[in-house]
Amino acid sequence: MNTKLYNIAQQFALEGAIADIKALGDGFINDTFIVKTEGTTPDYILQRKNHIVFPDVPAMMDNIRRVTEHIKAKVENPLRDTLTVVPTTDGALYYKDEAGNFWAVCLFIENTTTYDRADSTALAYQGGKGIGRFQAQLADFTEPLAEVIKGFHNMRYRFEQWDEAVKADKAGRVASLTEEIGWIESRREEMLGFWSLVENGTIPTRVTHNDTKISNILFDADTKDVLCAIDLDTVMSSTSLNDVGDALRSYTNTGAEDDPDLEKVSMSLDMFRAYIEGYLSERAATLSESEWEWLAFSGRFITFEQVLRFLMDYIDGDKYYKIKYPEHNLVRTRAQYKLLQSMEEQYDQMVAIVNGLK
Ligand code: ATP
Ligand code: MG
């Protein structure tokens, strides 16, 4: 067993003696390990939190504690139906090692499975159900959470960055992007109009998960039913429509996010229906009138944001997203724009599906 990891795990208030520590998968953001204990005591998840992505790990851990405590007060099985943060022996929610890395521990939830990809309507339904349940459990959580990633999905902030990027024209590419820049500008008013409804409270501010992919939903291994949403690092306060929009952007795309073949890219209305049905199966009762009204639009909003961000990074000279070839960000921009157009074309049907489930 790695003694460094062992010593870090020992900082936490674990039940039982540590038997083994093993790496679990290869996460994009954090380093995740499973800590097995001897006998019948629980196992644990130990994570090195990425403090480049999350500059304020203490605030992030406090968000997670508050959100999970709120859920625990409502569910039948508080140790299974949500994450349980395990403090250090000093009672802190994280441990900072000598190298300045932040570590945190939560209970390993036994007898569960996850899925890597939502490639069927059945899984899209389950993904919607998982986030819908999470949001429903937190629909009455009204205190603000720390903003762990600044300006996340904040369209006003995005346009401020955009205006600066176009003005600075760092990579000298603006002149060649008249058409693509037009895609953004022609939707500026519509997108900021939606965002004003969030800013003025017409659309309520609630707890958002902000990483809605299917691998962040835990399923009961026996019943195969949704158990809970995990990976709560990005929980923040905003409109919960962001979670739906982000999921729709990824679940419903018939092509890849960076598909060079635009023929392959479109929004699958079947996947849309499945996700929304799953989501509403848990969340319909707590949705406000304004959330109902803008639910289908959320997919367009988040997809538009991604078009803007990929194009902005291309204009900036590819500073933010890792690229695999020189035009990668432009290819991503075009592919996401194709998806956005497909959503716009099918918007009436999307709205009809939502209204049919009301
Ligand atoms: P990524 O960046 O890929 O989302 P991550 O580094 O954020 O990963 P998590 O999503 O928190 O890590 O966890 C990775 C995987 O470990 C999960 O998909 C799940 O399979 C498993 N896992 C995490 N926490 C638990 C838990 N408390 N109980 C059981 N399994 C867990
Ligand atoms: Mg994850």
Domain locations in the chain? 3-110, 121-356
Any alpha helices (H) in the chain, and if so which ranges?
3-9, 57-72, 121-137, 155-168, 178-185, 188-199, 241-251, 269-283, 289-294, 297-316, 328-345, 347-356
- Number of Cβ within a 10 Å radius of residue 273: 21
Question: What per-residue confidence (pLDDT) applies to 29?
Answer: 76
pLDDT tens-digit readout, 332-343: 999 999 999 999
Nearest Cα residue to atom 10 of ligand 1: 231
* Nearest alpha carbon, ligand 1 atom 31: 108
**Cα four-point dihedral sign 279, 284, 290, 296:** positive
From ligand 1's centre to the CA of 286, what distance in Å?
28
* CA 230 / ligand 2 centre spacing (Å): 7
| Average pLDDT over all residues of the chain | 96
pLDDT at residue number 287:
98
Would you say residue 69 has pLDDT above 80?
yes
- Cα(229) to centroid of ligand 2, in Å? 10
From CA 116, how far away is CA 126, in angstroms rounded?
Answer: 13
Query: Ligand 1 atom 9: the closest Cα is on which residue?
Result: 231
**Closest to 297 (Cα-Cα) out of 258, 242, 337:** 242
Nearest atom within ligand 1 for CA of residue 231: 11
Please give the distance of CA 35 from its chain centroid, rounded to a whole number: 25
pLDDT score at 25: 74
Residue closest to 246 by CA, chosen among 321, 344, 339, 178: 339
CA 105 – ligand 2 centroid, Å: 15
Residue 210, phi-psi category: left (phi > 0), alpha (psi -120 to 50), beta (remainder) = left
Mean pLDDT of 260-266: 98
pLDDT of 98: 92
Rounded distance between C-alpha atoms, residue 134 and residue 150, angstroms: 22
The CATH classification number of 121-356 equals: 3.90.1200.10
> How far apart, in whole angstroms, are the C-alpha atoms of residue 82 and residue 141?
15
Neighbours of 28 (CB within 10 A): 7
Nearest ligand for residue 45 CA: 1
pLDDT, tens only, 165-224: 999 999 999 999 999 999 999 999 999 999 999 999 999 999 999 999 999 999 999 999
Query: What pTM, to 2 d.p., does this model score?
Result: 0.95
Q: Which of 109, 216, 250 to mutate to test the pocket of ligand 1 (most atoms within 8 A of CB)?
A: 216
Nearest CA to ligand 1 atom 8: 27
**Cβ(231) to ligand 1 under 6 A?**
yes
Tell whether the model's pLDDT for residue 27 goes beyond 70.
Answer: no
Ligand 1 pocket test: pick from 52, 114, 234 the residue with the most ligand atoms within 8 Å of its Cβ. Answer: 114
Find the mean pLDDT for residues 52-68.
95
* Residue type at position 280: L
| Contact yes or no for 130/226 (Cβ under 8 A) | yes
> What percent of the chain lies above the pLDDT cut of 90?
95
Cα 210 to ligand 2 centre (Å) = 11
Three-state SS at 213: coil
Ligand 1, atom nearest to 106 Cα: 27
The yes-or-no answer to whether 3-110 and 121-356 have a common fold is no
pLDDT tens-digit series, residues 112-151? 999 999 999 999 999 999 999 999 999 999 899 999 999 9
The class level of CATH for 3-110 reads alpha beta
Distance 227 CA to ligand 1 centre (A): 14
Is 106 touching ligand 1 by the criterion CB < 6 Å?
yes
DSSP annotation string for 101-157: -EEEEEE--SSEE--S---SHHHHHHHHHHHHHHHHHTTT--SPPP-SSTTTT-HHH
Q: Which two tokens stand for residue 143?
A: 């205190």
Torsion-angle region of 39 (φ positive above 0: left; ψ -120 to 50: alpha; else: beta)? left
DSSP H or E stretch at residue 42? none
